[in-house]
Chain A
Amino acid sequence: AQKITQTQPGMFVQEKEAVTLDCTYDTSDPSYGLFWYKQPSSGEMIFLIYQGSYDQQNATEGRYSLNFQKARKSANLVISASQLGDSAMYFCAMRDYGGSQGNLIFGKGTKLSVKP
């Protein structure tokens, strides 16, 4: 069965510093996608970045990058130059394209707090 594990319930980072949020996953399907979402206190889930299992390069979107290590089944999110507005919950999610009909499976999330 597919599973997403986020082992850091909470993280603190100083403004302007970089931070890495951990995510490991488990799937037996060779074709899958990994997503990161941000959920501020307002409640909306905001899509940040996507990595496909066959992508050769790590995904980047502005200050967000995904450190994809396929053999270790990890897909860590790196946020560079943290800003106060980055304080939020961050969820890692996986979608495999096999038997689960491609549904998204989410981890429990990491609460990031950026300190001024």
Chain B
Amino acid sequence: EAGVVQSPRYKIIEKKQPVAFWCNPISGHNTLYWYLQNLGQGPELLIRYENEEAVDDSQLPKDRFSAERLKGVDSTLKIQPAELGDSAVYLCASSPGGGGTDTQYFGPGTRLTVL
């Protein structure tokens, strides 16, 4: 079974430029998460989707960040414009949903460097 796929793995951009990250979850997983991981810290949730619906985006900086999951499968996270402080690893995770343990499985992440 394929795991969570993310691309690109690495991205270097200059500040004020836009950037987008793509995630394809594990097949059949209804719940998709985007996390931000700063150096030396644990991941922090940005947004959670249940199918197409963003059920928790309270931690997403909406002035510059946006996300979509149009068909309830893959998802895109966008930053426009990027700032120096956005340099971090962006992790995507998925889980089956529906309660219970609902373990989250993570992709390899996208390491963003903003110059």
Closest A residue to B55 by CB, please name it: A101
B108-A108 in contact (CB<8A)? no
The yes or no answer to B111 lying at the interface (CB within 8 A) is yes
Which B residues fall within an 8 A CB radius of A? 33, 40-45, 48, 55-56, 89, 91, 93, 101-109, 111
Are A44 and B42 within 8 A (Cβ)? no
Total A residues in contact with B, Cβ cutoff 8 Å: 23
Q: Which residues of A contact B (CB under 8 A)?
A: 4, 33, 35, 37, 42-47, 50, 52, 91, 93, 95, 101-104, 106-109
State in angstroms the CA–CA spacing of A43 and B107 once bound together. Answer: 9
Partner of B93, one of A4, A45, A95, A107: A45
* A101 engages B108 (CB within 8 Å): no
Residues of A within 8 A of B43 (CB): 45, 91, 104, 106
Task: Tell me if B42 and A107 are in contact (CB < 8 A).
Answer: yes
Inter-chain contact A33/B48, CB cutoff 8 Å: no
- The reply to whether B108 and A42 form a contact with Cβ atoms under 8 Å apart is yes
Structural contact, B41 and A108, CB atoms closer than 8 A: yes
Are A106 and B93 in touch, CB under 8 angstroms?
Answer: no
Is the CB–CB distance between B42 and A43 below 8 Å?
no
B48 touches A101 (CB 8 A): yes
Asked if B48 and A103 sit within 8 Å, CB to CB, the answer is yes
**Chain A residues, CB < 8 A from B107:** 44
A104 nearest in chain B by CB position: B104
The reply to whether B111 and A43 contact each other, CB–CB distance below 8 Å, is yes
